[in-house]
Structure 1
Amino acid sequence: MGGQTRRRNLAQVSGENAVIQVAWMYYEDGQNQQEIAAALGISRATVVNYLQEAREKGLIRITLAAPAFTTHRLALALNHRFGLQGSYVIPDEGTGTEEGFLRVVRGAANWLPDLIAPGDRLGVAWGRTVYELAEMVEPARIEDLAVLQLVGSMATPYGFTAEACSTRLAQRLGARCLNLHAPAILSRAVLAADLREEPILKAQLDQLETVNKLLFSVGTATAESHIVLSGLATPADLDWYVGHGAVGVICGRFIDAEGRQLPGPMEDRMIGVPLPRLVGLEMGILVTPGLDKVEATRAAIRGGYVTHLVTATSVAEALLAAP
């Protein structure tokens, strides 16, 4: 009698409610697919389809606890080798470049809420890694959290402008967003200097002095780097900096192998946080999704920007293999 009633009830339910009922029985009640099919009078194939629909609609959230990744042998080895406070290492064996990238970014999105606290002032760099992370992080509300844009705006062919990265992350975390209302780079140093003294922008730049935590992904010093393809640096700028030892980019500034900022033709024309302000913060969260950033990652760690690292097993092995 009870089974007939239940089958009749499910037959009257359609759409999302049926999907939710099947998902609840599977994930919360711990019943297997065959048991659910028998209990509800539907086929096992229908159960499978409902569960797939629940995942595609985002109705189901499945995450592995952080210790699965932060106590990985490679994570502990990174901490010991580089003096990090924490590392989060995600397996990427057998994955392609894009799949590996998305795994690392999702891992960073899962870990980030554990690393920030009420009252934090989180400085955010820009780029695809940070933008995708902001899209993936679960919506939450962290009391009195502020997210600060660290680099000015730029005309870019991508959707992940600096202000888009900070705005989207602030929205997901229920935080106040403090953006910079100025270009990232200007044509003349004197123009940049005058703009920095404008009261509105000066107040925004002064806010950057309050940053206590940093979220970023280090860029490469290559022609394929976002800093070049976005127009922030010209090919001639890149050649100059590489010729003077540049191996990576942090917040639009070139760094050498020791993580030191390289003064050069762009510096006096830029609007954004000075790199020395980001050294030795309470927390520096670096997300490194690919092997192309191994050298730049090592430089960022040497420079004192990093306390926490999120990366893949292949990158971790490469970092540890170098002398």
Structure 2
Amino acid sequence: MTTSMERPDPAGERRLDLAARAAWLYYFKSRTQEQIATELNVSRQIVQRLIALANSERLIRFQLVHPLAETIELAERLRDRFELVYCDVCLNESGSTEDVPSVASQATFYLENIIQQKAPLTIGIGSGGAMRELARRLPPMDRPQHRCVSLMGNLTRDGRATHYDVVTRLAERLNAQCYPLPMPVVTNTIEERTVLKAQSGYGVLRSLVEEATLLIMGIGYWGADATLYRDGFITAAETAQAMEAGGVGELLGCAISAEGKIIDADYHDRLTSFIRTQPADRPTTIVASGVSRAPAIRAALKGKLANSLITDENTARLILYSG
């Protein structure tokens, strides 16, 4: 015996058919509701209800037909997975596993929109190749009310300056106030770091970093060509020890694990950078690209050391689907 619940509903099916037809005409043929009403021989009010029914029954599936469609989807997935406050993924124009120029250009648009404001703004600046490229691409602007403050030192232990001195270049492009951190990234001794951090200038920069409304930086990785080692900030032995302790990434000179935890690296007690707390308490943006940096980016996002990301599509896929 057939129950009432098992009986077909011809009227309901016909209404869904009509709703599908109305939605097709509205979304895909760009007909107005008046035109649809005439074509289906119903009132305009019924057309509105049919389109609403098509949406509620999920008869409509939208597809964005644009080169950026996949990068927009990747950005949304990253934002959802890591609970980011901002994420932008650009097309990979180079065809390789790394596209610093494209990422830097995307980050330029991001920063340019922020610094348009007239109210005084303090920005904490990190280092790295992508950040240096960002500073080079930023158009000259007159923002003397803004302050650019470095988040980490710019010298090796023997006094040699790094070529990644981003804060000075960025401040020059903006005609902004510049606050570099002219001290070694890693000192020779704990006592030396204690003396340097006791200087009044360090206290001024620390206060500026604490009041900064935006922190933006690159990220490093560990290996034989790790940036900290290659640029002479730490020794081969210190690099090896950080890797053995589980380091997969380096943020502001600080070694982090795959889970985004600060590891027990020997050089940390001599590091002069302004290390951030977890979770990030303000917009903290990583600008980076490349297969070698993907594990480091993933770790920083997983550990909530950063809550914003600008990268390219290839790197985004690695962050999402590898590891």
TM-score for both structures, normalised by structure 1: 0.71
Displacement after TM superposition at 1:173 (Å): 2.4
Displacement after TM superposition at 1:306 (Å): 2.3
* Aligned ranges 1:159-238 → 2 under 5 Å: 160-161=163-164, 164-238=165-239
Residues 217, 288 of structure 1: 8 Å contact kept: yes
Instruction: Give secondary structure in 2 for the equivalent of 1:96.
Output: coil
* Aligned ranges 1:146-161 → 2 under 5 Å: 146-155=147-156, 160-161=163-164
Q: Deviations over 1:220-258 (max 9, x none)?
A: 011212111011111111111111111100111111112
CA distance in 2, matches of 1:174, 1:285: 22
Which residue does the alignment assign to 1:310?
310
Decide whether aligned partners of structure 1 residues 321 and 187 sit closer, same or farther in structure 2, where only a CA change above 3 A counts: same
Decide whether aligned partners of structure 1 residues 94 and 188 sit closer, same or farther in structure 2, where only a CA change above 3 A counts: closer
Which residue does the alignment assign to 1:76?
76
CA distance in 2, matches of 1:144, 1:168: 16
Is 1:319 the counterpart of 2:319 in the alignment? yes
Worse-superposed segment, 138-147 or 267-276: 138-147
Which residue does the alignment assign to 1:114?
113
Displacement after TM superposition at 1:279 (Å): 4.2
CA distance in 2, matches of 1:306, 1:259: 10
* Aligned amino acid, residue 251 of structure 1: L
Q: Deviations over 1:280-316 (max 9, x none)?
A: 2320111121121111000110121322211111111
* Aligned ranges 1:59-74 → 2 under 5 Å: 72-74=72-74
CA distance in 1, matches of 2:267, 2:216: 23
Worse-superposed segment, 215-224 or 68-77: 68-77
Which residue does the alignment assign to 2:284?
284
* Aligned amino acid, residue 282 of structure 2: E
Residues 155, 161 of structure 2: 8 Å contact kept: no
Displacement after TM superposition at 1:143 (Å): 6.5
Identical positions, percent: 25
Aligned length: 253
Residues 149, 205 of structure 2: 8 Å contact kept: no
CA distance in 1, matches of 2:202, 2:287: 29
* Aligned amino acid, residue 255 of structure 1: I
CA distance in 2, matches of 1:205, 1:70: 40
Decide whether aligned partners of structure 1 residues 113 and 69 sit closer, same or farther in structure 2, where only a CA change above 3 A counts: farther
Which residue does the alignment assign to 2:266?
265
* Aligned amino acid, residue 74 of structure 1: L
CA distance in 2, matches of 1:216, 1:123: 8
CA distance in 1, matches of 2:170, 2:69: 23
Instruction: Give secondary structure in 1 for the equivalent of 2:293.
Output: helix
Residues 122, 208 of structure 2: 8 Å contact kept: no
Which residue does the alignment assign to 1:300?
300
Which residue does the alignment assign to 2:24?
none
Structure 1: segments with no counterpart, 5+ residues: 1-66
Q: Deviations over 1:160-202 (max 9, x none)?
A: 33xx200111122232111113222221111211221123333
Displacement after TM superposition at 1:262 (Å): 2.0
* Aligned amino acid, residue 288 of structure 1: A
Instruction: Give secondary structure in 2 for the equivalent of 1:140.
Output: coil
Q: Say which structure is richer in helix.
A: 1
CA distance in 1, matches of 2:224, 2:128: 15
Instruction: Give secondary structure in 1 for the equivalent of 2:311.
Output: strand
Larger Rg: 2
Instruction: Give secondary structure in 2 for the equivalent of 1:292.
Output: coil
Residues 259, 304 of structure 1: 8 Å contact kept: yes
Displacement after TM superposition at 1:94 (Å): 6.2
Residues 70, 88 of structure 1: 8 Å contact kept: no
